[in-house]
Amino acid sequence: MIGKAKFSFLKAHEILWKLGYWRYLLVPIILSVVLAVVLVVLCFAFSSILSVWLHEFLSTFFELPEWFRLVLMLFIIVFEMGPFYVAFRSLVMVCYAPFLDKLSVKVEELVNGHSKEFDRGFIESIKRPLMMASFTISASVAVFVGGLFIGLVPVAGILISSLMLIPFQIFLSSVAYVDPYLERSGYTPRESIVLMRKNIGSMLIFGLFGFIIMMIPIIGWFVGPTYSVVAGIVFGILISKESVEFNKA
């Protein structure tokens, strides 16, 4: 499982730094950093509003101290980070979408030795990333709401919701990065999701690698999404090729 994810990120490092492709991605890198700042502000604002509402709602049934509102806000922020992280990762792909066709050609040539020529206009290039972003964000919010209600059960609820939330959110945060190559290979959105689900172990490791890079202060915020963009194309090539070979056999 770890092999495909590891190879994908090592190849991404080679493409970005040894071959210097980071220069051609400065615009989406800047857009992704701006997007990160906007989403962090929204995350704290939304959690503050929701904690006030929950505190008032629960106070009608229980006598809750004022400090409990802060506890609620911290609890919501922890759970809320999942959907906001998925939203960030998915929307980053919309920023990168106009640059993906040329990038995919170069990555395919390095990994496969050949590439599929693909030339689309701006609108066409962002349609699929927007569709996948809508799916992943909606699914992530649904998981968040379910986990939030389960997490209200003392002790056991928090444990169960954490075990449920973490793998779901990691998987959803990776979908948008692997899908672009699968789209170029003719997979419909449903077929793409099915193939990624079949490789769920590798997908979770791929997502963890991306998350670990993102956690590097400042540097990770800039290069983390870019590594995942390039690694996602490589990863898509690997699982697509593996699927074709399996079907032939």
- Write the pLDDT tens digit of every residue in 139-150: 988 887 887 777
- The more confidently predicted of residues 55 and 198 is 198
Task: For Cα atoms 35, 208, 22, give the angle at the middle one, nearest 5 degrees.
Answer: 50
Residue 246 lies in a domain: no
Residue 249 lies in a domain: no
Among 29-38, 154-163, 236-245, the minimum mean pLDDT is found in 154-163
Asked if residue 213 lies in contact with residue 89, where contact means CB atoms within 8 angstroms, the answer is: no
Average pLDDT score, the chain: 83
Q: Specify the DSSP element, H or E, that contains 248.
A: helix 219-248
40, 157, 213, 192: CA torsion to nearest 10: -100
Determine the Cα–Cα distance for residues 194 and 179; give it in Å rounded to an integer: 11
Residue 248 lies in a domain: no
Position 129 pLDDT exceeds 80: yes
- Identify the domain containing residue 129 by its residue range: 2-241
Determine the Cα–Cα distance for residues 173 and 163; give it in Å rounded to an integer: 16
Q: What percent of the chain has pLDDT over 70?
A: 91
> How many domains are contained in the chain?
1
List pLDDT tens digits, range 174-214.
999 999 889 888 899 999 999 999 999 999 999 999 989 88
Residue 134 lies in a domain: yes
Asked if residue 136 lies in contact with residue 90, where contact means CB atoms within 8 angstroms, the answer is: yes
